[in-house]
């Protein structure tokens, strides 16, 4: 039977071109992927740090809210001077001054999303029953690894004003709006 179309030139040849990619094509694709990674990874790390700092600010506000609630529920004690006193498990019984059950368990451990939280500078007085009563406090949030989990440290006093330390410590002087 006579064919009315032309055969490609390689059909009759003994040497056929193999299907697939050449080494040069694969190297070019790998180079493009590497360049994209070099651009994307630093911005991904910066977004992660920004998320940790945002979480730290929200956690400071949660601690301040828990402190106000603690002072209302336990007026003889004043404010809590430890993060653990604001935490506690709901399954362990009713809230007490040592485990008020006002913070999430993840925050009550003192570490969350790359930051370490501490209640410091507590002012202690004695109430009418000769019991220690804390009348003021300051909360600090410091990155666990400066530059990797956060750039800035944060401080908050009992009025709720949050300030930042650009070096990642507790020397907070820059107000956060």
At residue 77, the 3 state secondary structure works out as: coil
At residue 105, the 3 state secondary structure works out as: helix
- Residue position matching structure tokens 């071109």: 17
Contact between 173 and 163 under an 8 Å Cβ cutoff? The reply is yes
60-115 pLDDT, tens digit each: 999 999 999 999 999 989 999 999 999 988 888 899 989 999 999 899 999 999 99
At residue 168, the 3 state secondary structure works out as: coil
Contact between 74 and 100 under an 8 Å Cβ cutoff? The reply is yes
Structure tokens at 90: 């709901």
Domains annotated for the chain, with CATH where assigned, are 23-175 (3.30.700)
138-173 pLDDT, tens digit each: 999 999 999 999 999 999 998 999 999 999 999 999
pTM of the model: 0.78
27-46 pLDDT, tens digit each: 999 999 999 999 888 888 99
Closest CA to 162 of 75, 21, 53: 53
Structure tokens at 42: 């630093």
């Amino acid at each position: 039977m006579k064919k009315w179309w032309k055969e490609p030139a390689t059909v009759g040849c003994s040497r056929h071109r193999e299907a697939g990619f050449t080494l040069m094509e694969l190297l070019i694709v790998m180079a493009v992927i590497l360049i994209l990674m070099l651009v994307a990874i630093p911005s991904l790390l910066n977004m992660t740090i920004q998320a940790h700092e945002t979480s730290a600010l929200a956690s400071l506000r949660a601690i301040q809210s828990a402190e106000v609630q603690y002072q209302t529920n336990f007026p003889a004690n004043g404010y809590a001077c430890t993060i653990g006193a604001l935490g506690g498990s709901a399954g362990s019984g009713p809230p007490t001054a040592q485990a008020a059950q006002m913070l999430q368990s993840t925050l009550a451990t003192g570490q969350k999303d790359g930051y370490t939280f501490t209640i410091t500078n507590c002012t202690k007085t004695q109430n009418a029953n000769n019991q220690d009563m804390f009348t003021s406090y300051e909360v600090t949030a410091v990155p666990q690894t400066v530059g990797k989990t956060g750039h800035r440290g944060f401080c908050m006093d009992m009025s709720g004003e949050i300030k930042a330390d650009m070096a990642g410590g507790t020397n907070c002087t820059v107000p956060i709006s």
